[in-house]
Amino acid sequence: MYFDTIAAISTPMGEGAIAIVRLSGDKAVEIADRIFKSPANKSLQHHASHTIHYGHLIDPKSKEVVEEVMLSLMRAPRTFTREDVVEINCHGGLTSVNRVLKLALTNGARLAEPGEFTKRAFLNGRIDLSQAEAVMDLIRAKTDRAMNVALNQMDGKLSRLIGQLRQALLEILAQVEVNIDYPEYDDVEEMTIPMLVEKCEFVRTEIDQLLQTSSQGKILREGLSTVIIGRPNVGKSSLLNSLVQENKAIVTDIAGTTRDIIEEYVNVRGVPLRLVDTAGIRDTEDIVERIGVEKSRQVLREADLILFMINGAEPLGDEDRRLFETIEPMDYIVIVNKTDLPQQVDYAEVQALAGERRVVTTSLLEEQGVMDLEEAIASLFFEGNVEAGDLTYVSNARHIALLHQAKDAVEDALEGAHAGVPVDMVQIDVTRTWEILGEIIGDTVQESLINQLFSQFCLGK
């Protein structure tokens, strides 16, 4: 497939040792040859693929030396995009890398759109759509587990499984066509129905197994929305600072210090937490604090996990009991803090209100109990489950939605087959299942969706 030649900065902006400007397209080598001069003064056209060369970038018009670089030359089809690719390694820094990019653009390249390199890899058949999406998951991975899930998907683990399911459905469709073409042979129909039921049940079982991993996979990909709640001055900000291991929140003895939402990502034993410290939930006459309390109630309703903090140095209050009632249907862990002070809280009442939920004691002032809390968080979501490398995790919300649709479609096919519906009618649901699964890997997806997905990528990837 022919495309014009694109260029973009492929490393993060800012100061660093090295920055990379990447070119991809039919004229990538020609453009690089126009601006690159090696000590041997030898054209890049005569160099072998997958070689690296030292030299200088020179503006063809002014003959000015722009940068001292190392240039990597990679020829199609053995490249990420399956096009000719040139990567110019220059000194890190905004001025340097922008001068290199500008030189490439003024000599025939076009600025790449967000995600366009990966999009070309998809359109040129090097990767499918699920693998392309895994590239962004890999970049955004915040834990080793999340990275392993993305690597498996990039390697085609999910794609191969989807391919097997689609192949099983194709075999059904082929058998149905034989049944339609030769209706006079009764034995053909007798063979078609059992085969249809067997393979559809196989597809349904495999989809079920994938969906069983979806909740954990989604957590690994997007992070667990975790809200720290409790009355003012129970230690919420101290807990945030302890988990993040940095002083992100102001800690004082004055109730109502936290007026707004503070959000940080933290890795707790392989579980990525999107950690939110909230204003203490209480009735207050302070207008600013009241806005913060309302924000706290909003994020509480949207949370995946609640870390409910109680002051162990005080008796349980009515506000604590009301919070227990508020979070009853949610996943939460109770943290009794300030165990370094004389304890006045009734632990029996706390455990009774918590029910089967875990209760952890901490003294954040003396840095005690945090390890127990981390263990409780990890076990709540991953205890008794296999590691990310042991099975195919589904972590993408788009994939999960499509798998649910595919399961509904294959169950419609099974229901029709068991009810004695003619096979040509059952074929419609089988075909629909095959098409829905194809959307996951990009075989049957619309161009508008492809453009939308790749627009979310970072520039230069």
Overall pTM surpassing 0.85 (yes/no): no
State residue 388's pLDDT score. 42
Q: Which residues contact 12 (CB under 8 A, 6 or more apart)?
A: none
Cα-Cα-Cα-Cα torsion 147, 148, 153, 156, nearest 10 degrees, comes to: 130
Q: Which residues contact 325 (CB under 8 A, 6 or more apart)?
A: none
Report the C-alpha gap between 223 and 266 in whole angstroms.
9
Domain count, the chain: 3
Whether 305 maps to a domain, the answer reads: yes
Whether the Cβ atoms of residue 131 and residue 442 lie closer than 8 Å to each other: no
Can you give the length of the chain in residues? 461
Residues 242 and 373 in one domain: yes
Locate 393 and state its tokens. 């995790």
- 3-state SS, residue 229: strand
State residue 300's pLDDT score. 72
CATH number of the domain residue 56 falls in: 3.30.1360.120
Residues 227 and 375 in one domain: yes
Residues 238 and 354 in one domain: yes
Domain boundaries, position 162:
131-213+394-454
Whether 402 maps to a domain, the answer reads: yes
Report the C-alpha gap between 248 and 391 in whole angstroms.
37
Give the residue among 112, 53, 40, 46 at the shortest CA–CA distance from 83.
112
Residues 191 and 331 in one domain: no
Whether the Cβ atoms of residue 110 and residue 436 lie closer than 8 Å to each other: no
Of 382, 406, 425, which marks where a domain is finished? Answer: 382
Whether the Cβ atoms of residue 313 and residue 346 lie closer than 8 Å to each other: no
Report the C-alpha gap between 132 and 135 in whole angstroms.
5
Of 352, 382, 412, which marks where a domain is finished? Answer: 382
Report the C-alpha gap between 239 and 235 in whole angstroms.
6
Locate 200 and state its tokens. 């559809």
Q: What is the DSSP letter of 420?
A: T
Whether 59 maps to a domain, the answer reads: yes
**Residues 148, 19, 3, 47, CA torsion sign:** negative
Residues 369 and 259 in one domain: yes
State residue 292's pLDDT score. 56
| Bridge-based pairing state of the strands 51-58 and 65-74 | antiparallel
State residue 387's pLDDT score. 46
State residue 271's pLDDT score. 75
Residues 148 and 72 in one domain: no
Report the C-alpha gap between 343 and 362 in whole angstroms.
12
CATH number of the domain residue 400 falls in: 1.20.120.430
Whether 358 maps to a domain, the answer reads: yes
Residues 403 and 377 in one domain: no
Whether 120 maps to a domain, the answer reads: no
Residues 93 and 156 in one domain: no
Give the residue among 307, 337, 338 at the shortest CA–CA distance from 296.
307
Residues 411 and 374 in one domain: no
Residue indicated by tokens 């109680």? 310
Residues 181 and 256 in one domain: no
Q: Which amino acid is present at 254?
A: I
Instruction: Output the tens digit of pLDDT for each of the chain's 461 residues.
Output: 567 999 999 998 888 889 999 999 999 999 999 999 999 888 999 899 999 999 999 999 999 999 999 999 999 999 999 999 999 999 988 899 999 999 999 999 999 998 899 999 998 989 888 888 888 777 777 767 777 777 888 888 889 999 999 999 988 888 777 766 655 555 555 567 888 899 999 999 999 988 887 767 767 776 778 888 888 888 887 888 888 775 443 333 433 434 345 677 787 877 778 787 665 454 545 554 455 556 666 667 777 888 999 999 999 988 889 889 888 888 889 999 999 999 999 999 999 998 988 999 999 888 899 889 888 888 877 654 434 444 466 767 788 899 999 999 999 999 998 998 888 888 899 999 999 999 998 887 667 767 766 776 666 66
- 3-state SS, residue 282: coil
Whether 121 maps to a domain, the answer reads: no
Alpha helix segments (H runs only) across 52-156:
94-105, 116-123, 129-140, 144-154
CATH number of the domain residue 269 falls in: 3.40.50.300
Residues 230 and 366 in one domain: yes
Report the C-alpha gap between 405 and 52 in whole angstroms.
48
Whether 460 maps to a domain, the answer reads: no
Residues 241 and 336 in one domain: yes
Whether 351 maps to a domain, the answer reads: yes
